[in-house]
Copies of this chain bind each other. A is one copy, B any other.
Amino acid sequence: MTPPEGAVVLLSGGLDSATVLHIAVDMGFEVHALTFGYGQRHSPELRAAALVAERAGVKDHITVFLDPRLFQGSALTGYGEVPDGSALREEGAIPSTYVPARNTVFLSLALARAESIGSRDVFIGVNSLDYSGYPDCRPEFIEAFRRMAGLATRDALEGRPVRIHAPLLEMTKARIIERGLELGVDYSLTLSCYRPDGHGRPCGTCDSCMLRLRGFREAGTEDPAVYSTEGE
């Protein structure tokens, strides 16, 4: 019997990445979870990531802090208010919660981490159906990143390119939740909200909360998260 192979899983602490982590485990990978602090105002997601990783029994989990000067101008990093999801949906444009080059940066650092630890696989929870409209969540971006990564590293040149897995790319939020529940994901540990309250509870009304709540509704099950609006 060969030992399990290692995979780097990008873990934000939200619903999607928690599901991806469990998909990687289900595929037989030993998971090296990787979380980033980048000055996000919803930093309680870092704690959610730690809880998700611990519960899933990952091989290791590191949280890397990146200089916020690299990620200015986003509502998620403190430039302006995070808007209500309902307002956003009407606009159609790329929302103010877009963070400069975030998935490019996260995938690049995951690529470095994978080569550092001798892993050939990277997982990311991007989703192009029920998502916020960010450019770096689209299939064509992931495909272009794969192509670039295939030219970038020593491992690639020596015939062992890193594989970029994006298993949620074409799944609805409801389908992601169904798959996660099959795999035993405890969604009560996850935090999807862009503007949690002082206790780290989700708001229920930002874009990310709305997508999540609609997903649970469409999956015919209840979101176990406790929202800040409950009991008010």
- A residues with a Cβ closer than 8 A to B are 62, 64-67, 69-73, 94, 98, 100-105, 107-109, 111-118, 135-136, 138, 140-141, 144-145, 147-154, 156-158
Q: Which of B101, B103, B148, B158 interacts with A141 by CB under 8 Å?
A: B148
Dominant SS among interface residues on chain A: helix
| Assembly CA distance A141 to B118 (angstroms) | 21
Kindly report how many copies of this chain are found in the complex they form together: 2
Question: A65 contacts which chain B residues (CB < 8 A)?
Answer: 67
Q: Which of B69, B113, B136, B157 interacts with A153 by CB under 8 Å?
A: B136
Question: A136 contacts which chain B residues (CB < 8 A)?
Answer: 151-153
Cross-chain contact A104 with B115 (CB below 8 angstroms) = no
Cross-chain contact B62 with A94 (CB below 8 angstroms) = no
| Assembly CA distance A66 to B34 (angstroms) | 14
Cross-chain contact A117 with B151 (CB below 8 angstroms) = no
18 pairs of residues in contact across A and B, judged by CB atoms under 8 Å:
A62-B69, A69-B116, A72-B116, A94-B154, A98-B154, A100-B113, A100-B115, A100-B153, A101-B115, A101-B152, A101-B153, A102-B112, A105-B105, A108-B108, A135-B154, A138-B151, A144-B144, A145-B148
| Assembly CA distance A61 to B134 (angstroms) | 29
Which of A98, A104, A158 lies at the interface centre, i.e. has the most chain B CB atoms within 10 A of its CB? A104
